[in-house]
Amino acid sequence: MKEVKVEKLLINYKTLEEFKRFKEYGHQELSMLEDLQSNIVENDSESPFYGVYYGGSLIARMSLYKVDKKYDQYFEPQHDYLELWKLEVLPHYRGKGYGKSLVDYAKGYNLPIKTNPRVNSHGFWERMKFQKATYEMERDFGQNPLIWLPEGISERNTQ
């Protein structure tokens, strides 16, 4: 596979149309359509959305939010971290490294990453070196968050 380019997605109506292709595949719980619609202002708005294009079409996407260390209850010492949401690759393009490219892009920030994986995706996250969080904030109960730690940062103890 040739090198995959991850792009920051613009918040505009073209991106909104691209997102509709993902929703059509039945992943209602992963749809970022509502998020995008509420954020459309103009092309240069700060976007939390990233994607991979193939042949001019968006084929993989994710949301990536930076969380300030003052809200960190996962890592020791407290640290800014990324929250990776709604990673999705269109069915025809799965298993070809596009999801991995998105995760590697996020890892490139060299910050801890937290995600709440969707059902049946734990194998993917394990291959990406994510592990089950042993310390769960109250709001994460039932969601089984997974975390990835760059070198030199450890997970907070559960005591």
In tens, the pLDDT along 51-61 reads 999 988 999 99
Banded pLDDT at 93 (limits 50, 70, 90) = very high
pLDDT, one tens digit per residue, over 95-110 is: 999 999 999 999 999 9
**C-alpha–C-alpha distance, residues 12 and 39, integer Å:** 9
Residue 39 near residue 105, CB atoms below 8 Å: no
Residue-wise burial string across 9-34, b where 16 or more C-beta atoms lie within 10 A, e elsewhere: bebbeebeebbeebeeeeeeebbbee
The pLDDT assigned to 101 comes to: 96
**C-alpha–C-alpha distance, residues 122 and 145, integer Å:** 10
The pLDDT assigned to 9 comes to: 84
Q: Does domain 6-155 have CATH number 3.40.630.30?
A: yes
How many whole angstroms from its chain centre is CA 81? Answer: 12
Mean pLDDT of the chain: 78
pLDDT, one tens digit per residue, over 12-51 is: 777 777 877 775 444 444 455 556 555 554 444 567 889 9
Angle at 31 between CA 124 and CA 50, to 5 degrees: 65
Residue 134 buriedness (CB in 10 A; 0-12 / 13-18 / 19+)? exposed
The pLDDT assigned to 122 comes to: 83
The pLDDT assigned to 44 comes to: 46
